[in-house]
Structure 1
Amino acid sequence: MTITYFGYGSLVNLDTIPADAVATPGTLKGWVREWRVCGMGPDGQGRCALSVREDPGNEIRGVMVREPRSGLKELEKREKRYRKVEEVGGSFRCDAEKKNGPEDLFVFVAAPDHYRWGTETHPILQSYLDCVLAGFYRFWGEEGVAHFLDTTEGWHVPVLKDRRNPAYPRAVALPEQVLSVLDEATARHGLTFLDMP
């Protein structure tokens, strides 16, 4: 028995999903990504994460992940600020085979208690953003990074520069060459960065 879900943020990064999970890149039509999940970390640092909402005029890249059903409890723990929207397989198109996803494909969206734009007290963690962008870079290169930046709403939310001391629990170590690509892309997009207190 397996579960199948669409990853559009950190779940795109293969280093953050189980080793026995299989990720298939593709596009989810009728949805848009946004910086609109707020909560407190175990360190007391407020933070903002990604969510998606239905929007017929948009589409976003991501991955269809299939893993053993035994991993569901751990996945739901990870995505504790979200709820599942079931049966979105008809909106997914695989990059390689140009076919839809399975009927049981689900996607995580912000739970109502956490659904709000990030702020200076709940910023985007740079360590989280690095993880997400590195996942897109691995699958689609620089064009994938640009796609993520162009198809995500909420860039008015500031980014906390925690790269040297990551507050994100699944932070990934990246080569300087990759960090340079990510920094150049975010600079072109005009993001606002906050220094660590």
Structure 2
Amino acid sequence: MQPGFFFGYGSLVNRRTHAYEDAHPAQLSGWRRAWRKTTLREVAYLTAVPDTTAQIDGLVAGVPGADWAALDARERAYMRVPARHQVRTHLPEDADLVVFAIRDGHHHNPDAVSPVLLSYIDVVVQGYLHVFGEDGVQRFFDTTDGWDAPILDDRRRPLYPRHQKLQRKETALVNDMLDRVGAKVQPVSSFNPLKD
């Protein structure tokens, strides 16, 4: 039996957020990303959504020790979707490979109550920059929907649990890309999605 693999397309592209040693770059066809909210989390996050015309960059990694339970815990708001024949990678044909996505009909557009965290965007962009370069960052923005969502500027006190410290040039790149897509970044004082 072949070991299990998964395709990561968000924070998992940032190798600083995990210890999956055999992670390598790959492309997933037939999907794009979207910022979405669900009742399962307090803030919006990325999900993969079907799109027959799209292709996204990401990392393929093996499930350490075939411990799907630990990976499912990290990805608790998602379901596993078989994707072996949609991923260009060097894995054997019979390898089990999935992409994590929110169940259809269980996600909605982000709003002021469930915004996107800037610290989360920072982590994702840093990962794409290190793995795919600036062109990869551009592709990330181009193949992700929902940039009209409210974005909470939590950089000074990050709310994202796997936040990372960015270099000045990385922060500038994130800011430039957000400006390019017309994103609306709001100060943390304007709302706090985690208060009671």
Aligning the two structures, in what range does the TM-score lie when normalised by the shorter sequence? 0.7 to 0.9
1:75 matched to 2:71: yes
Name the CA distance, whole Å, in 1 between partners of 2:135 and 2:14.
16
**Which of 124, 128, 135 lines up with 1:132 in the alignment?**
124
Cα distance per residue 1:60-117 (max 9 Å; x no partner): 111111131354222111111111112x1111113xx6x7875411010113574111
User: Higher mean Cα deviation, 143-152 or 182-191?
Assistant: 182-191
Q: Which residue of 1 aligns with 2:96?
A: 104
- SS of the equivalent of 1:33 reads strand
Supply the AA of the counterpart residue of 2:73.
K
Name the CA distance, whole Å, in 1 between partners of 2:49 and 2:128.
20
Name the CA distance, whole Å, in 2 between partners of 1:119 and 1:174.
26
Q: Which residue of 2 aligns with 1:21?
A: 21
Cα distance per residue 1:21-76 (max 9 Å; x no partner): 311112101111111243466xxxx3100001221111111111113135422211
Name the CA distance, whole Å, in 2 between partners of 1:92 and 1:176.
33
| Aligned-pair CA distance for 1:2 | 3.7
Structure 1 pair 113–57 and aligned structure 2 pair: CA distance change class (3 A): closer
Q: Is the 8 A contact 2:9 2:58 kept in 1?
A: yes
Q: Is the 8 A contact 1:159 1:193 kept in 2?
A: yes
Structure 2 unaligned spans of 5+: 190-196
Supply the AA of the counterpart residue of 2:9.
Y
Q: Which residue of 1 aligns with 2:33?
A: 33
Normalised to the residue count of structure 1, the TM-score between the two structures is 0.87
| Aligned-pair CA distance for 1:4 | 0.6
Q: Is the 8 A contact 1:39 1:122 kept in 2?
A: no
**Which of 152, 160, 166 lines up with 1:160 in the alignment?**
152
Structure 1 unaligned spans of 5+: none
1:118 matched to 2:133: no
Q: Is the 8 A contact 2:37 2:110 kept in 1?
A: yes
Query: What is the count of residue pairs matched by the alignment?
Result: 188
Supply the AA of the counterpart residue of 2:69.
K
Percent sequence identity is 33
Name the CA distance, whole Å, in 1 between partners of 2:28 and 2:81.
13
Q: What is the alpha-carbon root mean square deviation over aligned residues?
A: 2.0
